[in-house]
Amino acid sequence: MTDQPSQQNQTSDRRLGIGTVVRHPSNGLGRVVGYHNDTYVIIFKGLGAKFIPPSLPGITVVEAVSDPESSLIKQAVRAAMQDYGWMEADIEIAPKWSGGTMVLLPGNDEVQEKEIPIEAFFKKIIGVREKLRVLEQKINNNKSLSGEEKLELQGYITRCYGSLTSFNVLFAKKDSHFKGTGGD
Q: Is 111 helix (H, G, I), strand (E, B) or coil?
A: coil
Average pLDDT, the chain: 77
pLDDT at 8: 41
Distance CA 177, CA 17 (A): 29
Higher confidence at residue 156 or residue 17?
156
Alpha carbon distance 71, 11 (integer Å): 15
19 vs 89: which has the higher pLDDT:
19
Q: Where are the domains of the chain?
A: 7-83, 95-176
Residue 100's nearest CA partner among 14, 28, 156 is 28
Report how far residue 62's alpha carbon sits from residue 6's, in angstroms, rounded to the nearest whole number.
5
Residue 6 has pLDDT above 70, yes or no: no
Whole-angstrom Cα distance, residue 145 to residue 100?
Answer: 44
Span 26-48, pLDDT tens digits: 888 888 887 777 788 888 877 77
Topology of domain 7-83, CATH: SH3 type barrels. (2.30.30)
The residue with greater pLDDT, 73 or 1, is: 73
Pairing of β 7-8 and β 21-24:
unpaired
pLDDT digits (tens, 9 = 90+) for 80-130: 665 555 555 456 788 888 888 889 999 998 999 999 888 888 888 888 888
